[in-house]
Amino acid sequence: MAELLFLSHRVPYPPDKGEKIRAWHILKYLLGSHDVHLGCLADDAADLRQLDELRHLCASVGCFRVSPPLQKARALVRMRSGRPLTLDVFHNGALKQWVAQTLRGGRISRIFVFSSAMAGYVQNYHDCPRILDMVDIDSEKWRAYAPYHRWPMRALYAREADTLLALERQLVREFDSTLFVSEAEATKFLTLAPESENRIGWIDNGVDLERFSPKHTFASPFSNDSINIVFTGTMNYWPNIDAVTWFAETVLPLIRQKHPSANFYIIGGMPSRAVMRLRKTAGIIVTGRVPDIRAFIAHCDVAVAPLRIARGTQNKILEAMAMARPVVTTPEGFEGLRAMPGRDLLVAKAPDAIARSITDVLEYRYPNLGSAARKAVEQYHDWQRTLPALDTWIAPRSGNYSKRKLISAVE
Greatest distance between any 2 Cα atoms in the chain: 68
- Positions of CATH 3.40.50.2000 in the chain: 2-206+383-394, 227-380
pTM as predicted: 0.93
pLDDT at site 84: 96
pLDDT at position 395 is 64
Q: Is the pLDDT of residue 397 over 70?
A: no
Of the candidate ranges 126-140, 169-183, 230-244, 381-395, the one whose mean pLDDT is the lowest: 381-395
First to last CA, the chain: 29
Confidence band for 260, pLDDT divided at 50, 70 and 90: very high
Q: 222-234, pLDDT tens digit by residue?
A: 987 899 999 999 9
- Distance CA(58)–CA(199), nearest Å, equals 29
Backbone angles phi, psi at 201, to 5 degrees: -155, -165
Q: What's the CATH number of domain 2-206+383-394, 3.40.640.10, 3.40.50.2300, 3.40.47.10, 3.40.50.2000?
A: 3.40.50.2000
Average pLDDT over residues 372-397: 90
Report the CATH superfamily, name and number, of domain 227-380.
Glycogen Phosphorylase B; (3.40.50.2000)
Query: Quick one: pLDDT at residue 287?
Result: 97
State how far the Cα of 289 lies from the Cα of 233, in Å rounded to an integer.
9
Q: Measure the CA–CA gap between 155 and 85, rounded to whole angstroms.
A: 13
